[in-house]
Structure 1
């Protein structure tokens, strides 16, 4: 990664207008021509553009690769960070540079700019390159629309800022004014900025669903490094965001062309499973620590060392597998697919309709799936795998309720609270099931090495009790909702 200061000024050229000669200011050296394509990344509300920051991936030309530009106090200057071309995914180092501006918002492609550039060197008396003067034919693509214009820019290489003043005066005399726009990107995004500022009234299905999905993608992007570092809550929050994405694409699949998102849902399932194993060990750590406090001091002394050793080893292995998965092409393709889901969502025509009308109807289908799962579980209430299916359906209903609450806030919050309670109780059942099995596995090995089985059995009894109590609470909460 290289860092430098870019100092330049931009000028407006009429369509077909050539950059006037600047030989009265400096000798003109070699002329070069090339074409470059730049893809620019920003948040849904264009935070980087508002902050005069940019991140782009460029192909063609002498500075191909990934770049970030950050403003300085001097309007002619920006800090430029460059990384050689290293694939389609944004390097994590560049996101770190703009974290203060974007927070946990997602970054994804918002504009493409194709430039046909003709550059000439401006030379000093000793042949030193003082600046590069370029004429650019620009074609942009933003949100399905395009713009074309011609402009010029002069970038200092070895010259002083006074040279830019002289260039500006010479070009003004030749009828070439300073550009009214600070950058190509700002000009390309001007209509989109104006659209975002409009009060459009009732939100459409597409706007509500896309906004919710964007929030989850932002969490995943922001927490990539914390997950790799195994920072507190990073795996948990990433797992929840992954579930929200997958459940939303299922519950509100009517907003999309189904074929286009089916594969993405399966890949999110895989990612969720990879996050799930280390998260389960985090839950086990806290859960069993609490349960151990309910044992006598003597019994806890028997159980605690074996439990803690097993949990630590299990977590290290699970986290290592997770990090390995995040270095694969499969993971990279998933993240690129999520970027494209935001940049160019494969929407069904009905997604343009009112969200307040259609989203609750889609949510009702998710509730119906819970009802069906409950009927199946009640037919054999001792079968905990069936209650686990209820839990998964209830989680989808909970996340769906969160989204519906955005268009029906008056009664939506109560619905969210109800489904959150159900999912919480059923989650407690599943946590106890996992804890019970884990203790069983650890006790078998410990007993083989001469440990007393009784303290382990007592710990399992506590988990059995937790299963019964949590399941009873979940069934009562479901009865109120259904």
Structure 2
């Protein structure tokens, strides 16, 4: 990653206005013209721009690439970091440098600036390049809004800050003064930043705020997932599930069929995340059950569990990391950022969230009710209860999204559905645990070890299964009755 300190000043120009002669400061040097296109990135509430942090990906000109600009030691100075333009996604090192401002928020494209630039060197003694001057014709696109303006930049190269002062004096004499904002993106986002401070009670606002939180988790934890840092895989998996649930439950907010493919890709990533997480949960669960065994059997069984599930975890985590290096994963992350930045919405998205979202949530609850009746007709079929659990999780996250909209009412619903999913989740963990114990038992017998300790462990999981299913059915009745 390249790093440099730039010192520059920006000046407002009228349309078609040119800079006056600067021969009082230096000799005119070579001139060039460029067409630049820069995509700027920020959180949905523009917190980076407000904090004088700028991230862009620019093509065209002499410095194509990803740029991160940070405040410097002096008012005219900025620290600028560069990464290659070939990257399609925000460099991880950039996000790390601004995480103190982001605080977990997602970074998404917020504006495109197209600039026609005429650049000229200002030379001093010995042909030293004191500075470069630029006359820019700018067209900025922010959502559906476009604006254009002219401005000038003067950037130091080998000169000192006195050069900037002398240039400014010449410009001031010609009636050219500092721009009202210190950066192009701040000017482009001026109106959007004002609007972002206003409360948004629409369905669009509620759903996109929730989705943005989850995309932020995925971006923020991405490197930690690769490193298998504590809780990183778990948090990312939950965020992926929340995204899928939101896109399913509140699909009516979006254009017809616009999120189906994205939900499919989220399911793929959730499965990749789920494999190492499941291995973690199973290892913890089975090790917690070892104390029910006779003292002489505990160490042997615990060692078998640890060896098998630790190896399984390492294997599937490597597969997860490999999947995150594919074009498919990169496209998923780009699509998620685009979903936050520029979603395709139905007209109802502009309606009040408190009016249009609750019926969508009620439809998710009705789906749970139908699946619950189906499971109750054959209560011993645990596959049916597993389907109930998945639908209940969708309802849980649907209620969670509504908490900022409906307050205590939604919070009560969220808590009720959480109780259902936690109990039925334990049931499903017990089902999977019994299968794993069976595999461990078979291998142990093959190696000449007794089978009985594994049978005892399986019986313990069967007891936990029945207890958790009973709790789940009780919690389900309470949730459906609310």
Report TM bin, short chain. Answer: over 0.9
Q: How does 1:148-159 map to 2 (within 5 A)?
A: 148-159=148-159
1:467 alignment counterpart: 465
The total of aligned residue pairs comes to 480
TM-score (norm 2): 0.98
TM-score (norm 1): 0.98
1:314 alignment counterpart: 312
Distance 1:51 1:408 in 2: 32
1:279 alignment counterpart: 277
Q: CA deviation at 1:443?
A: 1.1
1:397 alignment counterpart: 395
Q: CA deviation at 1:197?
A: 2.2
Distance 1:21 1:84 in 2: 36
Unaligned segments of structure 2, at least 5 residues: none
The answer on whether the counterparts of 1:302 and 1:455 sit within 8 Å (CA) in structure 2 is no
Unaligned segments of structure 1, at least 5 residues: none
Q: 1:324 aligns with which of 304, 322, 325?
A: 322
Q: CA deviation at 1:283?
A: 0.4
Distance 2:129 2:431 in 1: 72
2:66 alignment counterpart: 66
Distance 1:253 1:402 in 2: 16
Deviations 1:243-295 (A, max 9, x none): 00001100000001132111000000000000000000110121111101222
After superposition, the CA RMSD in angstroms is 0.9
Distance 2:342 2:32 in 1: 35
Deviations 1:382-409 (A, max 9, x none): 1111111001000000000001122110
2:338 alignment counterpart: 340
Distance 2:269 2:256 in 1: 20
The answer on whether the counterparts of 2:237 and 2:273 sit within 8 Å (CA) in structure 1 is yes
Distance 1:197 1:311 in 2: 49
The answer on whether the counterparts of 1:302 and 1:451 sit within 8 Å (CA) in structure 2 is no
Deviations 1:432-456 (A, max 9, x none): 1111111111111111010110000
Deviations 1:52-95 (A, max 9, x none): 00111111111111110000231100100001112221111111
2:147 alignment counterpart: 147
Q: 1:376 aligns with which of 362, 374, 377?
A: 374
1:445 alignment counterpart: 443
The answer on whether the counterparts of 1:256 and 1:347 sit within 8 Å (CA) in structure 2 is yes
The answer on whether the counterparts of 1:39 and 1:56 sit within 8 Å (CA) in structure 2 is yes
Stretches of 4+ moved more than 6 A in 1? none
Q: CA deviation at 1:423?
A: 0.5
The answer on whether the counterparts of 1:34 and 1:116 sit within 8 Å (CA) in structure 2 is yes
Q: How does 1:119-198 map to 2 (within 5 A)?
A: 119-198=119-198
1:108 alignment counterpart: 108
1:436 paired with 2:434, answer: yes
